[in-house]
Amino acid sequence: MYKIAVIPGDGIGKEVMEATLNILEALNIDFEFIFADAGDECKEKTGVALPDETIEIVKKADACLFGAAGETAADVIVRLRQEMDLFANLRPVKSYPGTKSLFDDLDFMIVRENTEGMYIGDEDYIKDESGNITGATAKRVITRDASERICEYAFKYAKENNRKKVTGIHKANVLKKTDGLFKEVFYEVAEKYKSEGIESEDFYVDATAMYLLTRPKSFDVIVTTNLFGDILSDEGAGLVGGLGLIPSANIGEERALFEPVHGSAPDIAGKDLANPTAMILSAIMMLEYLGEKEAANAIDKAILKVLSESKTVTGDLSGKSTTIEMSEAIKEKIEF
């Protein structure tokens, strides 16, 4: 039996989570779903966005499914990543049929360092002699250990998934010490994988933002620091039809959390209009992590069928179906 911590969170997180559990419960796999609270509504009720009880539930689970958080996202998901040392954030960019994808055959992975960089939250105000705020500072931390760990993960991922190239993304021409260190470590790791036939290259992050639009098919695996990875993965979502189609995995040495990239979307929350695909794809990544690859493939094929037919899809995919109706359509097409 797999113990799965389930955190629906805020807004559409509840709806897409319900749609996803609807599919997982139809599989011939023994799951125990343990529900936990976190997010804006949790903070309103309890005074804290991420209760200690929720952290303990996640720590004891085999994996965690997370829906969405609103204004408290930094207090919830960023803290969970740090508490569990979920150092690798995997964000696949893949074209699916029946979507607004700008390209038909994109398939690359962004591997983002998850524990340091700008997102450590070390900020402070600059004040004048009278105490007036005149500015603010943010500390960016890049360490050799974290850089080596994320680069090693990216190259190992490439090797295990028959990928041929890893691209390191940085801004070492300006951030000479922090990104200079990341680039240096990237090539140290790359050297170890030359004999495996895995190519390596590096680009500045601003150039990469352009290349994702002009030649995205040239990418296979991208590895980068926290903030850059966050921004580039949202650009990747734009290439393949929007955030409603992008899943993600947060992987550590012992634990893992899976979540859609989209937020809580309060404007459509409670209306059963949200596209559940990103959450379902995140569950597929969870199944792969747990070693249930046959089930993962079965759901992926079912999603492909539903998207290809374009009959039972949500409004963002030019359909008229509800969240749960799309979930039911996917469930009906699972052959497992």
Catalytic residues: 119, 171, 206, 230, 234
Alpha-carbon torsion (21, 22, 28, 33), positive or negative: positive
C-alpha to C-alpha distance for 195 and 201, rounded to whole angstroms: 16
Helices marked H in 101-143 = none
Tokens for 128? 């004048």
In which region does residue 323 sit, left (phi positive, over 0), alpha (psi from -120 to 50) or beta (all else)? Answer: alpha
Q: Quick one: tokens of 22? A: 């609807």
Q: Provide the 3-class DSSP secondary structure of residue 301.
A: helix
Task: Write 186-193 long-range contacts (CB < 8 A, 24+).
Answer: 186/147, 186/151, 186/223, 188/148, 189/148, 189/151, 189/152, 189/155, 190/151, 190/155, 190/166, 192/155, 193/155, 193/158, 193/159, 193/166
What is the Cα 167 distance to its own chain's centre? 18
Q: What is the residue-wise DSSP string for 54-87?
A: HHHHHHHSSEEEEEE-STTHIIIIIHHHHHTT--
Q: In the chain, which ranges are continuous DSSP H helix?
A: 12-24, 40-46, 52-60, 73, 79-83, 144-160, 178-192, 205-214, 226-239, 277-289, 293-309, 323-332
Q: How far apart are CA 99 and CA 89, in angstroms?
A: 24
